[in-house]
A and B are shown apart, each in its own frame.
Chain A
């Protein structure tokens, strides 16, 4: 069997793969939108002067980061929804519970990593700046918002881009809970048509090109907004 390019350009298998690509991109996009604010919140918790909040933030990061994503996926699909009351459960299961569970797992997982990147970015700004802000009468949040975060952003964006890259590739794990994303559709083409080379070549090119675009954006940002050194 030789490599059949036409298979990838039109027809049922093409449609399946494009459908998978769309869902993968959609999941990555929604997850990013949900994970970023969550990550900022967790980072703030860890940096806040309140002990209980610090502890809560640390618990979140460590409990999520130290368990493989695969286990998160299986838990959010087979485990967690079973604890819900019957009515809500039935309503959820009638919809697309596969994608919802995957987004829940991806959001928490990505947020835990991003929170650490944000926290280290903030910590890279000298403490003197924070103290100066506070002594001029700015509140904790105002100091953060007006003085620390704008500077920290330049340090934080590059690692966040790389976390987004991981998120994009991590969407493929959702295949184990029956989400029809790119890897799932590639496997479907493989088992239906025995066209493994074509299907996985398509998936590889998709993952690679989206990843390269993200890397390019990261480089562009670093070039345009270099980290300011004091």
Chain B
């Protein structure tokens, strides 16, 4: 290999591995006229594919739409896996994360968060015939969940001896539970209730254990140090809260007429602080 060729290849490598940096992401979004929001698309009702329209819909999507509207730009959704969320945001391939993202202290070292948009518990669903009625009984048992989220560390903390098996999507973990490949299935409460709602006649064979593994404040993820974008996003969320639109969205996706069937909204979109 000639010296010049070697140098050319090195430069190529350097450009690939240097993260793209923008002077100001907000200005960049406005210039492009487009905001790219990362969503899961596999976590009903936060973001999922509507079988009728083949489009990604959900609470996360509605919030993203409201923010795009406030910024006066076009919304483009990009589907991500749970594990890829934070890396994609850090590397600037998406502008914003609206992907059932838990806001916790550990993650604050990597990215910034908007105001908390949803507060949900994390719980375990089991088959009734397993005889399990409380979380500690999962000791030594196979427990299924999604890879790359807070579910795995949380169940490990609650039941250190559980044999935790993770999959790319929460739906695969849920199928695993239905097939009997594990004793429990861990997910955010809203997603669990939704899964339960979809079981139909089979509901009688499953129970959701009453204990919360943790309380998860979900928020939108913003790249670190993008204060301009964070302010716009938070302002848009505050407007939604004040106008009552946020409450309407909550009940649209999680209310008594949805599969989740929550009858109360116990939080307000007004804070971006979480307990450590």
Binding site for B on A (CB under 8 A): 1, 78, 81-82, 89-90, 93, 97-98, 176-178, 180, 184, 187-188, 190-192, 194, 196
Contacts and interface: CB of A to CB of B under 8 A. Distances in A.
A187 B83 contact: yes
A174 B109 CA distance: 31
B68 to A, nearest CB: 29
A90 B180 contact: yes
A178 B165 contact: yes
30 contacts: A1-B109, A78-B175, A78-B179, A81-B179, A82-B179, A93-B179, A93-B180, A93-B181, A98-B165, A176-B167, A176-B168, A177-B167, A178-B144, A178-B166, A178-B167, A180-B165, A187-B83, A187-B147, A187-B148, A188-B152, A188-B166, A190-B148, A191-B83, A191-B147, A191-B153, A192-B152, A192-B153, A194-B107, A194-B110, A196-B87
> Residue among A187, A188, A190 with the most chain B CB within 10 A?
A188
Contacts of B167: 176-178
Contacts, number: 44
A128 B76 CA distance: 66
A10 B181 CA distance: 32
Given A81-B179, A187-B83, 11 more contacts: A90-B180, A93-B181, A97-B181, A177-B167, A180-B165, A188-B152, A190-B83, A190-B148, A191-B152, A192-B153, A194-B109
Interface of B is mostly: mixed
B16 to A, nearest CB: 16
A193 to B, nearest CB: 9
Contacts of A82: 179
A192 B175 CA distance: 24
A187 B109 CA distance: 19
A54 B144 CA distance: 43
B149 interface: yes
Contacts of B179: 78, 81-82, 93
Given A178-B144, A187-B148, A191-B148, A78 B153 contact: no
A89 B110 CA distance: 43
Contacts of A81: 179
A192 B110 CA distance: 13
Contacts of B175: 78
Nearest to A192: B153
Contacts of A89: 180
A73 to B, nearest CB: 11
